[in-house]
Structure 1
Amino acid sequence: MRFEDRAWQVTGLADGRVYLVAGDGATACVLAARLVAAPGFVVIGASAAQPVTPVLWEAVPLEAQERALAWLRHIREVKTGLPGGPGSGTPRPEYDPQAFTLAEREAAKARELAGLGWARVSRATVQRMRLVYGRQGLWGLVDKRHLRGPSPTGRTDERVVAAVLEALRRCRGRKKTTIRQVIELTELIVADTHGPHQVRLPARSSLYRLVKALADPAEPPGSAARTATAGGRAGGPPAALRPGERVQVATARLPVGVVGEDGTPVVVAVTAALDQASGCVLAAVLHAEQDGPVELSVLLAEMAVPRSLRPGWPALLEQAHAGGPVRRLMSLPDRIEATASRPAAVPETLVLDRGPAGITSAHLTVCESLGISLEPAPPRAAGAASGVLRTLQVLAGLFTRHAVAARPAVTAGQEDRADEADEAGGVY
């Protein structure tokens, strides 16, 4: 080859490096990618430069690699009589180049591969693999079907694809445009451009899938056009860019009945503070809905002070577990670990939903001293819930199912209250 205005002979290939030697004895080691991309690189004696394949060998599936390497040994044996190339031993009688022609050796290899269980291998197949190996080397023996990526247009005629794109461009911004109208416009464009019945169109179902695949996901057929000068939606809340910047407080009812200490059914709700930037639950308080809203100071304490740092909390937790029921949702070590890993933060802005927390002048003084701003949640449309409230409702539903699944067994002295709870549709 010619590289850097000198003639070189390739002496070896290893790990993507090409080892070269010049006529005067000089040696060089060059990366293969740099060698083939260098200005003036040319293979001496070749009719045309071989195309450089952008796919790496490591990207080929293992099964295809093993198949290509197996073909390599067989093709070498057909060409030279030796699977490992010249100088690697003595050829087998049926592959001796001195005794048999190339066509006879190809036929012998086809019979051998058929006897080994290779499907659809004939002399023409062996000849084709030998010729492609001579043009492309090992890469020519790789089954290219493993490298084909999925195409959104499949095998559809390129003229039909171009017509669909043109139809989508013409229909862009029309609010009442349907996919059927896009397909009909595509048929007209194909007929006007290439003549009637000159291009075979796919079935209507295939055209429907093609339009869906080529349409802009942010602007499907029938949506209004998006322009660079279009103004954004006014009046919306600012987006939270960092944790603790905006924390929203919401309340959701647990879909489960609970029996209180006096044996009467109690409706339980959970009030939680969710960080809008990260979606993390900073604080959650379980309370009876009849008791009214949760005080804001309770949520602030839950958010700002980790329980593991509160004086005497580990001892109180151990005491509570010591006299608790037979089965708990979480063991004592797991609960301590989960509590220690829960984030703590002093919010910059509290977004209060309708009626989740009671606000007094003392709470306003505390928020002012901590630098916390209070902001009412924007009004919601009829029948629509905020994203934070929906998240809280999902978490409440998951907790309820987990609590029902982990329901402890009742003793004989607890059967009466348990029966009352079951009649009320709840859990004791």
Structure 2
Amino acid sequence: MRQAIDEAVDASTRTGTFLLWRTGEILKASPEGQQVKLPSQRTLYRLLAKLTAGTHTTGSATTRRSRAHGAQGPHGELPVFAPGEVMQIDSTPLDVLVRLDSGVAGKVELTAMVDVATRTVTAAVLRPTTKSVDASALLARTVTPELMRPGWVDALKMSRSVLPHRRLLALDERLEHAAARPVIVPEMIVCDHGKAFISRNFRPACRFLEIEFQPTHKGSPFEKGHIEKMLGSVATLFAQFLPRYAGRNSDHRGRHLEGERLWSLLELQDLLDEWIVAHWQNRPHDGLRDPAHPGRLFTPNEKYAALVEACGYVPVALSGDDYLELLPAEWRVVNDYGIRIKNRTYDSPELGRMRRQDSGIRAKRGLGEVHRDPYDVCRIWVRDHRRDNTWVQATWKYLNRVPGPFGDLAWDHVSHQLPRATEAEIADAVAALLTRAHAGPQTETGPQSSKRDRRVAARTKAAGPVTPASASAGTSCEDAPEESEETLAEVIPLGLFDRLEDPWKRPGRHPRPRRPSGT
């Protein structure tokens, strides 16, 4: 039975009936077990209850794995004494339906970073799907002040908060129009083994900012419990007050959610940023207590103001080139026609000196370093290693065919629909997809777009360029040819059924044949 319980640690949750059956199968497979006579069912269930006490074998799979793979000794605590000394990052689905575009409703993922010393949420972004570039952009937002936005009250300014605004403004002039959210430079980032954080894009971004990268053990979410708790608090303190709140699972989901109004992704992102500045940073936290007076609770802003007096403040200003450094990198050959990435051709006159030339990077076999924004496939940036590592921008060859920036999601969606299409045909198809999705649902004379097409276009537009290094395309798309109206066939309704009527007397029926005599 212990062996059956150990096998169930990483498997899906099953009931005690399966565990008892598995116990019998293990006994049958062993030479000694064939001579063992099983006790009654009640005795087996009592034994199973004792052996599975506290293991969640028939309960939550996440808790079961965490208990099984967790530390057996006493839990320790990593001491932190300065803001940014240890920070944690994680992502989770937000339990709210969001209007992406053209009325399409869908869920988004929340990626956030929290400072352990002050419990400050330095940055939080909403994306349809979390990618490595989103985690890299989160680093840029962490070291960048949160500027006041139109519609925010003056009470949210840093100058009117408990933060030492005057002293910080003398060191960093970017804080003049900043909101009351501290700017913290990470020294160590703790994360799990999610693909967005273990990728080759997020880790070089940490090395670029000289941040120590520390992943947790697999199946050990308690090692980053602060961000886990913070993401759960967002659901109870913020998300449940929004329309279309779906609950954390199907048991907590309401009915008739489609009848409620929806926030768009950009509007919800603005509300989340305002909520963090207004509520979270000014909310007393149970983990921030005065050691001399344990009964007093500090807010994240108050804790930051107290620690910055002892630890100081280090301003970090990111330039446009720094944002390009945080974008995901690929290695390609600069040919005569330019650079090809996912069947897209990029070219620029400034690439002339780099064509068919060795970049000098032996570890990459002389290939050129290319950085690109996955949410904007209109342009890429190529590093010139032989000229002071400057950046050269290359534009997509068929940029004049599309009405605006679109990302890999829309491109891959149309590529699967047209597997043998040329690059120009795919570009025209993507432009037509965005045009149909922007036009909305089908009308009597309008074009028809599938739900999948609208969802892909909506998620692409909702994501948008991640960094300010991306520029929007200013070209207009070509007029699409008018579609010919199809003539609808005549609809012939079915008649009413009468069970007492003779079916052979109905109009249009042939007379009932008579049976021949003698049969």
TM bucket (normalised to shorter chain) is 0.3 to 0.5
TM-score, L = length of structure 2:
0.27
Structure with the higher fraction of residues in helix conformation:
1
Larger Rg: 1
